[in-house]
Structure 1
């Protein structure tokens, strides 16, 4: 008796967990249903179907639900349906992974867009996390320093080969005037250093006259004695 209660408790827990994990997808909801006005392709792209989920088709009596192959889905062929369902409410359990195809069997409805392609996944895909931003990039914007412009290289001006060389001593200085030479006044020489004039003095003149007189006298005496 205790074993039966344990088994019943485990079954109840399994049912609760199964109902919590599984999801029911009402086709076309919330903006439509299984009819010609609903955009069923966009609705299917917005849903995630996993094994264990169920599809709920709610429709009026002039519609039905046919599960078909991929070829019949593309050509809207209704004669070779895998299953046919009617009555206004149809629940299709998604018990295996893969793609399944459903159309409405009423003439012209499939061609007008009343068809559904469902891709069932084996497990729920992990949520995609946004890439984490580094604190440096999120707190302060990157400022790119301006690239310095490369200055053009300027070659030094080469001096002409035949340019005359100017000595610093002989080169004129345009900024300063030439010095003016001033001659100092002449100073009369000292008596010691002045040479004696060649003009004879009065004593010399007397000596010459005396000598001449004596010579004349000697001549006269010689003539007298002769």
Structure 2
């Protein structure tokens, strides 16, 4: 355990005094290290490896670090390793671009997930800053007070519509004068041979009004009256004589 603490201290010192242009990546840090309990795949996906960086493996004595090829990495084959490293701490320099593969040579550890794939890049990818979309103010419909009043184009109402008298043929009733409007024929205009004396006739007009003065009796009428009176007087005298 004391040896592991010393190696961890050395790794920390190497990180602090590393080159300013290069980065040192402690495998599995900060929550883990080179062992079976650390999710090394997730850790590698969260890191960016560039040319000139270094990998620092810190592990216990029962582990080691083998660099292998792609086929041996997939099958956890340890017999054809490119390099074998032990001692509790291993530093690998990433001097070229491309992928490199590392496994633990202890039996069954690679199959348990103690394997690491590293993709080294020439330069760090430029990640543009997130651009927030412009805030668009919601377009609200104008309120009834502000909205312009647009009167719909409609047909004119009967009150406002221009009065156009239709040109139609005049009916017989409109041409013939009604009894009320018909001119009344005067008695003077009628023929003297056929006077209209019927009181029920609507065209009869009395020749004299009730307010006219009575006519003066003629001399013939006076004589007839005197004669009638004389005869009557004689008859009365004879009746008195025979009584």
How does the TM-score come out when normalised to structure 1?
Answer: 0.58
Q: What's 1:188 paired with?
A: 187
Matches within 5 A, 1:12-161: 19-131=19-131, 133=133, 137-141=134-138
Distance change in 2, residues 1:26/1:142 (3 Å): farther
Query: SS at the partner of 1:138?
Result: coil
Distance change in 2, residues 1:195/1:142 (3 Å): closer
Structure 1 runs, 4 residues or longer, greater than 4 Å off: 193-197
Number of equivalenced pairs: 151
> 2 CA distance for matches of 1:52 and 1:141?
52
Distance change in 2, residues 1:142/1:101 (3 Å): farther
Deviation at 1:186, TM superposition (A): 3.0
What 5-or-longer segments of structure 1 have no aligned partner? 1-16, 145-165, 173-178, 198-226
Q: Could you tell me whether the CA contact under 8 Å between 2:101 and 2:117 is conserved in 1? A: yes
Distance change in 2, residues 1:139/1:89 (3 Å): same
> 1 CA distance for matches of 2:183 and 2:32?
131
CA deviations 1:46-80 (Å, max 9, x no partner) are 10000111001011111000000111101100011
What 5-or-longer segments of structure 2 have no aligned partner? 1-16, 142-165, 195-243
Q: CA RMSD in A?
A: 3.4
Distance change in 2, residues 1:196/1:88 (3 Å): closer
